[in-house]
Amino acid sequence: MMPSDETPLLELQDLTKTFGTGETATQVLKGLNLTLQKGGMIALLGASGSGKSTLLNILGTLLRPTSGGFTMLGQNLFTANDATLTDFRNRHIGFVFQLHNLLPDFTALENVIFPSAVRDGVERPAARRRGAELLDIVGLSDRINFRATKLSGGQKQRVAVARALMNNPDLILADEPTGNLDSKSAQQVMDLITRVNKSENTAFLISTHDEDIAAQCTSRIEIRDGRIS
Ligand SMILES: Nc1ncnc2c1ncn2[C@@H]1O[C@H](COP(=O)(O)OP(=O)(O)OP(=O)(O)O)[C@@H](O)[C@H]1O
Ligand SMILES: [Mg+2]
């Protein structure tokens, strides 16, 4: 059954995450409740070590929660097996990290289309067209065939946003996407995210320590003592 439009983007119920076992066990998330609707642009705040990256990795299905309810687009991801999670991730989720994580020897275009090659198991001509369009959207149509190593930090991060958009995800998880950029490049990336959020209705969850970044989002949540406060 297809999820209806009223289906939330994601729902977390009493979610916990503990790293390690026994005496060294650390509970980072302590019963976190959160519902996000589709299409938002949400700032994720919290002190260093509060669990922002942990939460983003769980939402990205890269890390398993310890207990609680975890549903995205109506699908139960807590009980899903690894193959289902991989498939879900490839179809619905994009990532932008603080360090762009581009493949250095690949060109801008090759980096952007990489997620679709992973999803489809083959590089389709349509993917190259979409990749070129996305690089145009992020203002880098003149850098399509530049290797990643030949791009500036801000340009790399805009390629990373284009790459995150490649599979047309419902949610992009951005972990301090502007953390390594000067203020001008940071603003360009935020302008881009704002534009994409409006035009494609892609939801963004953006972890940040920067109040100026949070102020540009449509809402904010904060992790404190392992919960959303
Ligand atoms: N793989 C792991 N094993 C054990 N502990 C971990 C692991 N990953 C994270 N932690 C711990 O979980 C806590 C939360 O870390 P996390 O990286 O989620 O914080 P954060 O809010 O993203 O911090 P920052 O703002 O500095 O990026 C920290 O105390 C960290 O040491
Ligand atoms: Mg972090």
Q: Report the C-alpha gap between 211 and 102 in whole angstroms.
A: 27
Give the predicted TM-score (pTM) of the model: 0.93
- State residue 50's pLDDT score: 97
**3 state DSSP class of 215:** helix
| CATH code assigned at 59 | 3.40.50.300
Residue 50, in any domain of the structure: yes
Residue 24, in any domain of the structure: yes
Q: Which atom of ligand 1 is nearest to the CA of 55?
A: 18
Counting the structural domains of the chain, the total is 1
Residue 73, in any domain of the structure: yes
Q: Which atom of ligand 1 is nearest to the CA of 46?
A: 21
SS3 track for 79-111: CCCHHHHHHHHHHHEEEECCCCCCCCCCEHHHH
Residue 216, in any domain of the structure: yes
Residue 148, in any domain of the structure: no
Q: Whose CA is nearest to atom 16 of ligand 1?
A: 51
Q: Provide the Cα torsion 186, 191, 193, 195; round to 10°.
A: -170
The series of mean pLDDT values per 10 residues for the chain, 229 residues long, is 76 98 95 96 98 97 97 98 96 90 95 92 91 93 96 93 94 93 89 92 96 96 97
Residue 34, domain extent? 10-103+169-228
Query: Which amino acid is residue 14, in one-letter code?
Result: D
CB-count exposure of residue 181 (10 Å: 0-12, 13-18, 19+): buried
Residue 134, in any domain of the structure: no
- State residue 209's pLDDT score: 94
Q: Give first-to-last CA distance, the chain, whole Å.
A: 34
Task: Among 28, 97, 176, name the best residue to mutate to test ligand 1's pocket (greatest count of ligand atoms within 8 A of Cβ).
Answer: 28
Q: Which atom of ligand 1 is nearest to the CA of 56?
A: 18
Among 107, 112, 77, CA closest to 92: 77
